[in-house]
A and B are shown apart, each in its own frame.
Chain A
Amino acid sequence: MATNGKGKSIEDVMEDLNKMLSKMGKRDGGGNHGQGNEPKATAFLMFAIIFLGIWGTLTSYYTVDVEEQGVVTRFAAYHTTTNPGLHFKLPFGIDQVTKVPSSRVIREEFGFRSKSTPQGTRTQYSKDSHSSESLMLTGDLNVADVEWILQYKITDPWKYLYHAKNVRKNIRDVSISVMRRVVGDRLVSDVLTTGRVEVADQAKILTQKALDHYDMGISIKSIFLQDVNPPEEVRTAFNEVNAAKQEQEQTINQAERQYNKVIPEAKGKADKLLSEAEAYATELINRAKGDAAKFKNVSSEYKKAPEITRRRMYLETLQEVFNKAKKFTIVDPKVKGLLPVFNYSANEIKKSQ
């Protein structure tokens, strides 16, 4: 059994120690000690040594996690900084280790706080009562509600621990102050729209500069602007401007739509008008040419026998005309007044009207 084996070995060690101590005692004491005291004293010493041994072993090693660095102080003074892994140190609190999460990116939120949520779900944010952090004056003396995140890393664990007290508060104070300074140099509309990246970049530079001045071993990784809004009270008015922009675009689009609808059609109509004119012109000229050609031919034949042709043409025409006639009345020129000849019935008069 393992316990038995261990127990035996400890007993063995104790025996060995006993022997050694008694030998030493005999050599040093020179027989001065009373015989009765010896077993008691040795037992006490033994326990003390075992206690010290266990304590010493337990306090002589430590592990540093992957994301951490260990700052070792010896007799309270800085000794060394250690990297992740198992390390040994002087026991009994002579060496002390403070672990600092130096490779972790630490995040500070301003103007809002993310609530702790069950893993796998989206982070939720609570917005109540952080407006004192996020409300700030812009350069045109308007108010903007700016929320941002600052991410930093501890680059020098020793400085982080011993150069400043409450580093986190210092970082927050500086970031709040710097953000206001940056926003304070800008127009509210810039901050709300196009200036976001610029604001974040400048804030990062200035915050880092201030922190370098304190020499706290902190390096800012990034500053991100989150929600940047007009204050709650004026938000509807800002939305109205956006609505107006949409409306404006819509109006213009409609007008352009109308234009696009009418003008191409008008162009088509114009083309049609021209084509028609050209058609008319072609027809007219061709007819003229045709008529002219016909006349030329006919008149050249006519000239050969004008008199007889005239008569023939005249009579032919009359024949054609009179053939179509419905009624034909022949009157002698001696008859005076034509009316008696006609015997219109009432119906016929009506018809002719």
Chain B
Amino acid sequence: MKFLSIGIIILAAVLTLVNSAFLLPEGQQALITQFGEVKGQPITKAGLKFKIPFVQDVRYFDKRILSWDGDADKIPTKDKKYIWVDTTARWKISDPLKFTKALKNENIARSNIDDILDGITRDIISNFNLVEAVRNSNSILDTINKRKEEKEISGEKKELHIDDSNHLDEEITGEISSIKAGREKLTDLIIVRAKKILNAYGIELIDVQLRSISYDDSVQNKVYQRMISERERIAEKIRSYGQGELQKIQGKLNRDLKQIESVAYRKSQEIRGRAEAEAIEIYAKSFGSDPGFYEFSKNLELYKKTLSAKGEFILSTDSYFLKLLGKGP
């Protein structure tokens, strides 16, 4: 009997002790409630903690950063383009007291965040043009301008590398307009507005990310069509540039060819002309000393050359050669 009663007392003591102590793990925070009423400040430091046994209860909350993953929403932008916007957010329970009063638990909190963030995202996205959500800055325009300048500079140098001339046109496709806000600014706007509302629920919104923005299928197909036609245009341009180069080279070929040939002809004629002139001068000087003899000897030479072999001769006996034959000695 005695042993049994001691056992009961020990058991009761252990139960009381177990019920009055509790472990708060790292990454968690807790509220102590007494018959549903919150007692004291939230406990945020992990470790072995105590409470009044049986009367008080502990309610645990996550202290860590939690992620919220929204469903993708189809939202029209200001320029009437339908896009799917997929947002995620990171949040944590900053005030368990407010949190438990307003939302009770994480699941309810999530669906509330759904409503709030989806609504705000929709408001903001539909207030801006599509580019504002896609791009973050105007750096793309700087790039384009820089390339244009580079092209002009290299254009002045005249000698273009084959690739350079169509580089620029190939790159600038689609709509490039300057933006006022940009992706980061839009998320900031969403955060600022959502933060205020969520603060009242004891939630600290750490950030919102526009995880993805994609075209609606119907728009997507049109975009693809546009991309295809652009590529075709570029391909055609490249080809025709090639043809142009071909013509240029052929033209150059003809020009250079004529140049080379005609210069060579001119020079050779000059050389021949000079030589002939010199020869004439030499002959004139030499033969001029005795024109009579020149004429005589040249005649004889001509006879030798022109009165060909096996020719037929008819001579009169009057001729100088045969005068003896006719007259007699």
In the complex the two chains form, is A321's CB within 8 Å of B303's CB?
yes
State the Cβ distance, A296 to closest chain B Cβ, in Å: 6
B-contact 0/1 string along A27-38, CB 8 Å cutoff: 000000000010
In the complex the two chains form, is B263's CB within 8 Å of A270's CB?
yes
Nearest residue in A to B268 (C-beta to C-beta)? A277
B148 interface residue per 8 A CB criterion: no
Complex: A234 Cα to B252 Cα, angstroms: 39
State the Cβ distance, A60 to closest chain B Cβ, in Å: 19
Cβ–Cβ < 8 Å partners of A328 in chain B: 312-313, 315
Known: A281-B275, A291-B283, A317-B303. Is A165-B318 also a contact (CB below 8 A)?
no
Complex: A162 Cα to B24 Cα, angstroms: 13
In the complex the two chains form, is A285's CB within 8 Å of B275's CB?
yes
Residue B268 contacts which of A180, A233, A273, A284 (CB distance < 8 angstroms)?
A: A273
Cβ–Cβ < 8 Å partners of B105 in chain A: none
Known: A188-B173, A324-B310, A325-B313. Is A267-B260 also a contact (CB below 8 A)?
yes
In the complex the two chains form, is B27's CB within 8 Å of A161's CB?
yes
Cβ–Cβ < 8 Å partners of B276 in chain A: 284
In the complex the two chains form, is A299's CB within 8 Å of B272's CB?
no
A271 interface residue per 8 A CB criterion: yes
Complex: A23 Cα to B209 Cα, angstroms: 72
In the complex the two chains form, is A161's CB within 8 Å of B238's CB?
no
Known: A137-B213, A177-B209, A249-B162. Is A240-B69 also a contact (CB below 8 A)?
no
Question: Of A13-21, A100-108, A122-130, A251-259, which binds chain B?
Answer: A251-259
State the Cβ distance, A232 to closest chain B Cβ, in Å: 9
In the complex the two chains form, is B253's CB within 8 Å of A143's CB?
no
Known: A142-B173, A249-B242. Is A136-B228 also a contact (CB below 8 A)?
no
In the complex the two chains form, is A263's CB within 8 Å of B139's CB?
no
Most chain A Cβ neighbours within 10 Å, of B265, B274, B300: B300
B16 interface residue per 8 A CB criterion: no
A11 interface residue per 8 A CB criterion: no
Q: Which of A180-218 contact B (CB under 8 A)?
A: 180-181, 184-190, 210, 213-214, 216
Cβ–Cβ < 8 Å partners of A255 in chain B: 245-246, 249-250, 253
Residue B211 contacts which of A139, A158, A177, A330 (CB distance < 8 angstroms)?
A: A177
B235 interface residue per 8 A CB criterion: yes
A-contact 0/1 string along B113-143, CB 8 Å cutoff: 0000000000000000011001111011001
Complex: A118 Cα to B101 Cα, angstroms: 54
State the Cβ distance, B145 to closest chain A Cβ, in Å: 13
Known: A266-B261, A295-B287. Is A237-B282 also a contact (CB below 8 A)?
no
Cβ–Cβ < 8 Å partners of A252 in chain B: 162, 242, 245-246, 249
Complex: A292 Cα to B282 Cα, angstroms: 7
Question: Of B51-59, B149-157, B193-201, B288-296, which binds chain A?
Answer: B288-296
Complex: A289 Cα to B227 Cα, angstroms: 82
In the complex the two chains form, is A258's CB within 8 Å of B303's CB?
no
State the Cβ distance, A289 to closest chain B Cβ, in Å: 6
In the complex the two chains form, is B175's CB within 8 Å of A140's CB?
yes
Complex: A295 Cα to B295 Cα, angstroms: 11
A-contact 0/1 string along B249-270, CB 8 Å cutoff: 1101100110011011101110
A77 interface residue per 8 A CB criterion: yes
Complex: A269 Cα to B256 Cα, angstroms: 13
In the complex the two chains form, is B135's CB within 8 Å of A314's CB?
no
Residue A288 contacts which of B48, B136, B271, B282 (CB distance < 8 angstroms)?
A: B282
In the complex the two chains form, is A77's CB within 8 Å of B47's CB?
yes
A343 interface residue per 8 A CB criterion: no
Question: Of A51-59, A62-70, A81-89, A167-175, which binds chain B?
Answer: A167-175
Most chain B Cβ neighbours within 10 Å, of A76, A287, A303, A320: A76
In the complex the two chains form, is A73's CB within 8 Å of B245's CB?
no
B-contact 0/1 string along A276-306, CB 8 Å cutoff: 1110111011011101110110110011001
B112 interface residue per 8 A CB criterion: no
B-contact 0/1 string along A126-151, CB 8 Å cutoff: 00000011011111111100000000
B180 interface residue per 8 A CB criterion: no
Report which A residues bind B (CB closer than 8 A). Answer: 37, 73, 75-78, 132-133, 135-143, 158, 161-166, 169-170, 173-174, 176-177, 180-181, 184-190, 210, 213-214, 216, 230-231, 233-234, 237-238, 240-241, 243-245, 247-252, 254-256, 258-259, 262-263, 266-267, 269-271, 273-274, 276-278, 280-282, 284-285, 287-289, 291-293, 295-296, 298-299, 302-303, 306, 310, 313-315, 317-318, 320-322, 324-333, 338
Q: Can you pick out 22 interface pairs between chain A and chain B where the beta carbons lie within 8 Å of each other?
A: A139-B134, A139-B140, A141-B175, A163-B27, A163-B64, A164-B65, A165-B66, A185-B137, A187-B173, A214-B90, A241-B231, A259-B252, A284-B272, A296-B286, A302-B293, A313-B296, A315-B321, A324-B310, A325-B311, A328-B312, A329-B314, A333-B316
Give me the 9 closest cross-chain CB pairs, A-B, nearest first. Answer: A281-B275, A248-B242, A270-B264, A292-B286, A277-B268, A77-B47, A237-B231, A140-B174, A177-B209
Report which B residues bind A (CB closer than 8 A). Answer: 3, 23-27, 45-48, 62-67, 69, 88, 90, 130-131, 134-137, 139-140, 143-144, 162, 170-176, 183-184, 206-207, 209-215, 220-221, 223-224, 227-228, 231-232, 234-236, 238-239, 241-243, 245-246, 249-250, 252-253, 256-257, 260-261, 263-265, 267-269, 271-272, 274-276, 278-280, 282-283, 285-287, 289-290, 293-294, 296-297, 300, 303-304, 307-318, 320-322, 325-326
